[in-house]
Amino acid sequence: MSKKKFDTKTLDLILQKMIDTVGVSKNEIFRIGEQCRKDHLTLSDELKEVKELVMTSIAEGDRLEIQSRFARKRLSEVSMHFKDYTEVEVRDAYEKAHRLQMDYTMNQQMEKQLRDRRDDIERRLVGLNETIERAEHLISQISVVMNYLMSDLKQMGEMLEDAKLKQDFGLKIIEAQEEERKRLSREIHDGPAQMMANVMLRSDLIERVYNEQGSTEAIKEIRDLKKMVRNALYEVRRIIYDLRPMALDDLGLVPTLKKYLQTIEEYHKTIKIHFTNMGEEKRLPAQYEVALFRLIQESVQNALKHADAGEINVKLEIEQRRVTVVVKDDGKGFDIHDKKKNSFGLIGMRERVELLEGQLSIDSNIGKGTIVIIQVPLK
């Protein structure tokens, strides 16, 4: 019985069609998510305006109610002592009470319409948020599928004899890549993207400030704008540097850390960063150097962003069988038992240390700074 030859080109064609189809679906979901974000922004602005109108309507209603009450009281007095007032006074009292009552009734109707509109917008915003979250979740899942289809698992299969081991290894790589993309996306969204959006708003404000308050105030706004642009530029450069510092491959961990910490200190002129290498200045396997650099980088960034620290001490000790890292700051500290403080960055640090079969300990108290200790065994 003859065996049919396996056609790899046909399989590649099938895989390519699958990738193209999945890619089109991903783009459609992305467009849906982006449209929902635009609608969410528009509705948020409208909701703010409607809330202001509701407050104005409430204040106007209170004023009309008081005036209407006094007008009715005046009309009652005129009616009781009809003979003491002229016909003109009686008519004016009646017309004023009637007019105020009509204004008050119309105000109540308008307030109800505004409240209904406000409630409707809030319900739509909740729905849009749910749609955006579902779209992001679907895009993340589709990205995993595409990465899996596009990964060259065939070469891995030649190296890994056990099929189960090959599958687990491929999935771990894909998950790590996707988590890194999600982290980078979050940093860009929360950092440069948000800053540039604020720049656009402030730039529109400068002309208005110049017309209303003069050139002095406008110059102040321009200075603030320059500061925002400078911060945005720093965030972009930091994110690019975070992707992969070239010096790490060329020079190794210790020189790269020295350069990185010196750059951070020069930018943040109000903070002092001290680096001490207590062990050997030798090269480590690439995966260890990258992981240790990322861990120190994340610890320093946490101290800069969240601790309001004035001084940061970084100590590194490379021994024959292990590497120890200590990052200490004099910042405001936090409650380590408060789960709200357990940010995405700390979770990522713990996962990275676990992959190296190391240990991570964090000691912090409110008002007394934070100490991060990392110990990684060398195999």
Tens-of-pLDDT digits for all 379 residues of the chain? 444 444 556 656 776 777 777 778 778 888 888 888 888 888 889 889 989 998 998 998 888 889 888 888 888 888 887 777 778 887 888 888 888 889 888 989 998 998 998 999 889 888 888 888 888 888 787 777 777 666 654 444 444 444 444 455 445 555 656 676 676 667 666 666 676 777 777 677 777 777 777 778 778 878 877 787 777 777 776 666 666 666 677 788 898 899 889 888 888 878 899 999 987 788 888 888 888 998 998 899 888 888 888 899 999 999 989 999 999 999 888 877 775 544 556 777 887 888 888 999 999 888 888 999 999 998 7
**Domain boundaries, position 29:** 8-150
The domain boundary, picked from 150, 166, 192, lies at: 150
Distance CA 375, CA 217 (A): 53
Question: Is 235 inside a domain boundary?
Answer: no
Q: Are residues 15 and 144 in the same domain?
A: yes
CATH number of the domain where residue 360 is located = 3.30.565.10
Distance CA 149, CA 15 (A): 7
Nearest to residue 110, comparing CAs of 48, 66, 53? 53
The structural domain count of the chain equals 2
pLDDT value of position 245: 67
Nearest to residue 29, comparing CAs of 116, 123, 146? 146
Distance CA 327, CA 314 (A): 5
Position 86, amino acid:
T
The domain boundary, picked from 150, 167, 186, lies at: 150
Contact 352, 291 (CB under 8 A): yes
- Within 13 Å of residue 107, how many CA atoms lie on the same side as its CB? 20
Q: Are residues 12 and 135 in the same domain?
A: yes
Question: Is 202 inside a domain boundary?
Answer: no
Category of 25 on φ-ψ map: left (φ > 0), alpha (ψ -120 to 50) or beta: alpha
Distance CA 366, CA 277 (A): 29
Question: Is 218 inside a domain boundary?
Answer: no
Question: Is 354 inside a domain boundary?
Answer: yes
- On whether the pTM is more than 0.85, the answer is no
Contact 107, 59 (CB under 8 A): no
Distance CA 377, CA 288 (A): 10
Q: Are residues 22 and 132 in the same domain?
A: yes
Distance CA 367, CA 361 (A): 19
Distance CA 17, CA 12 (A): 9
Q: Are residues 257 and 146 in the same domain?
A: no
pLDDT value of position 160: 42
Distance CA 3, CA 271 (A): 72
Structure tokens at 344: 């995405």
Q: Kindly list the distances between the CA atom of residue 356 and the CA atoms of 238, 281, 344, 374, in Å, as whole numbers in the listed order.
A: 25, 20, 19, 11
CATH number of the domain where residue 129 is located = 1.10.287
Backbone angles phi, psi at 175, to 5 degrees: -60, -40
The domain boundary, picked from 150, 174, 190, lies at: 150
Question: Is 132 inside a domain boundary?
Answer: yes
Contact 185, 55 (CB under 8 A): no
Question: Is 135 inside a domain boundary?
Answer: yes
Question: Is 3 inside a domain boundary?
Answer: no
Distance CA 261, CA 307 (A): 17
Nearest to residue 304, comparing CAs of 273, 335, 275? 273
- Within 13 Å of residue 258, how many CA atoms lie on the same side as its CB? 7
Structure tokens at 29: 């979901």
Q: Are residues 18 and 137 in the same domain?
A: yes
**Dihedral angle computed from the Cα positions of residues 305, 306, 312 and 314, in that order, rounded to the nearest 10 degrees:** -80
Question: Is 177 inside a domain boundary?
Answer: no
The single residue listed with the structure tokens 């200190």 is 265
